Structure 1
């Protein structure tokens, strides 16, 4: 049932968690150091658990394995795709996020330039490769062709579909390293069953930055609309401000797989426990 390193625990007699250490400080959290946790000797016939065990290569397969044992993850395979992969969430968020195209095979520069113009922002359907600017912000056809050659070899990107996005100039907070996407005025938000449970700066390393009350209100209005449209239980929405002042959805993710960025994990899970206690079992 459980794989090596995995643990199933009941937190504060309220929330089932399936955990495993990943070695990533931005992701791991020792629940038993901060909350009352127990391992019931006898499990209910059916339980719903939140996974914090990293990203599985085959979420649907792992979901089926656990479901056969009566452990149902908070997201079905369909909800997981809707929360985490741009080709699934983008159609519901048009108007809130930059115009995007995606390709099953490496696209040609002519098609991308004709449809989106230059420069263009390029990523995998799930993530970038360590936020490398040279593989993400491409100024023209030559840059694009070079980047596609690297995509085919990159261990993070080669298995992902290529996503090309309209380049929208964002408000910057720091230039960063020479080959890193410049840090923008971007924030990560966690939502549990439609309720905001975590808010913090996305770029958690480097120069600190914060939003005013008015900026936070505007950012959360956009994120909240994305949450309403996607309607999954545990969603992460990253929002950033354009130089024009407009707020955009940059990315969505399954909260089970997302790092905390600049959010206190203790505060996040305390808020989730509070909401879960108020609303009762899903």
Structure 2
């Protein structure tokens, strides 16, 4: 397994930077070959220059990118440059988009996830609000803003929906010019994050070719809801696999949450290359990933 890592020593100290470092070190400990790549093309100019020192592999070899969620154009460029070196990232650019962009994966997951409307302008807010009813959950096509708290994700009326939509559309990295308005559901929870966001009972599943590699509780810290009974575990993993079968993305992370009613739903999906490992030990996940060819 080849690893393209953006964990180059830098001043930034963030959760994402720390996780990239953790994942890179775990891959090295288990014998994966790691090549470091810059976070952007500011100095090197293009993807070919970013990968210039990587040797060409005579036999096509599987690769994983450890880093920050890239702009689509950057993913496409790195994917093609790596392929020219004989390194094939687990997800093609299209598969990367399907896993990451809500408007692309949602049609495959209808019935498994809350009803949602995709909008591209504030002009569409009235219709979205009327269709779903308030309050609604709102997020970008790629990421929500839950780090900023509940009020950054929930609109209680048309005025708030227009304001949040306008804000999200300016955040190209999170929205990719699309905003997702979702029917608000109540997840079972016992804790609130420091910013007031409910820490719903949610599990992240890492899946390769419709097979569970590892899964773990989404939130950090101690939580009585983090333990699953055998029956619950079967429900969570079966739903995650069903979603993966519908999406047909090779390497994907799928978040499964429990409603207050007890029902399990799909929260969202992601390209697993850029998904946080949550409470999954990095070494245990890489122990599954390092021999990925055996799952093909």
Shift of 1:253: 0.4
Whole-Å separation in 2 of the counterparts to 1:66 and 1:225 = 31
Q: 1:20 to 1:154 in 2, by over 3 A?
A: closer
Equivalent position SS for 1:75: coil
Shift of 1:60: 1.7
Q: Is the 8 A contact 1:198 1:263 kept in 2?
A: yes
Q: Is the 8 A contact 1:173 1:183 kept in 2?
A: yes
TM-score (norm 2): 0.80
Is there any run of 5+ residues in structure 1 with no aligned partner, and where? 1-14
Q: Does 1:212 align with 2:268?
A: no
Whole-Å separation in 1 of the counterparts to 2:294 and 2:79 = 27
Structure 2 partner of 1:36 = 31
Q: Does 1:252 align with 2:269?
A: yes
Q: 1:98 to 1:263 in 2, by over 3 A?
A: same
Is there any run of 5+ residues in structure 2 with no aligned partner, and where? 35-53
Of residues 78, 86, 111 in structure 1, which corresponds to 2:94?
78
Q: 1:210 to 1:101 in 2, by over 3 A?
A: same
Q: Is the 8 A contact 2:192 2:198 kept in 1?
A: yes
Richer in helix (by share): 2
Equivalent position SS for 1:251: strand
What does 1:80-229 correspond to in 2, within 5 Å?
A: 80-131=96-147, 132-154=149-171, 157=174, 159-177=176-194, 179-205=195-221, 207=223, 209-229=226-246
Q: Is the 8 A contact 2:141 2:179 kept in 1?
A: yes
Q: 1:159 to 1:230 in 2, by over 3 A?
A: closer
Q: 1:80 to 1:273 in 2, by over 3 A?
A: same
TM-score (norm 1): 0.84
Q: 1:138 to 1:76 in 2, by over 3 A?
A: same
Structure 2 partner of 1:18 = 4
Whole-Å separation in 1 of the counterparts to 2:190 and 2:116 = 25
The alignment's C-alpha RMSD in Å is 2.4
Whole-Å separation in 2 of the counterparts to 1:219 and 1:32 = 27
Q: Is the 8 A contact 1:187 1:238 kept in 2?
A: yes
Q: 1:106 to 1:44 in 2, by over 3 A?
A: farther
Name whichever of 48-57 and 202-211 sits farther off.
202-211
Of residues 67, 81, 86 in structure 2, which corresponds to 1:53?
67
Shift of 1:137: 1.6
Equivalent position SS for 1:262: coil
Shift of 1:123: 0.3
Whole-Å separation in 2 of the counterparts to 1:151 and 1:265 = 32
1:61-114 deviation digits (Å, cap 9, x = unpaired): 222232233332111111111111111111111110111111222354421211
1:13-57 deviation digits (Å, cap 9, x = unpaired): xx2222221762234320365212457976225333111132221
Q: Is the 8 A contact 1:26 1:261 kept in 2?
A: no
Q: How many correspondences in the alignment?
A: 264
Whole-Å separation in 1 of the counterparts to 2:231 and 2:28 = 36
Q: Is the 8 A contact 1:27 1:258 kept in 2?
A: no
Q: 1:265 to 1:126 in 2, by over 3 A?
A: same
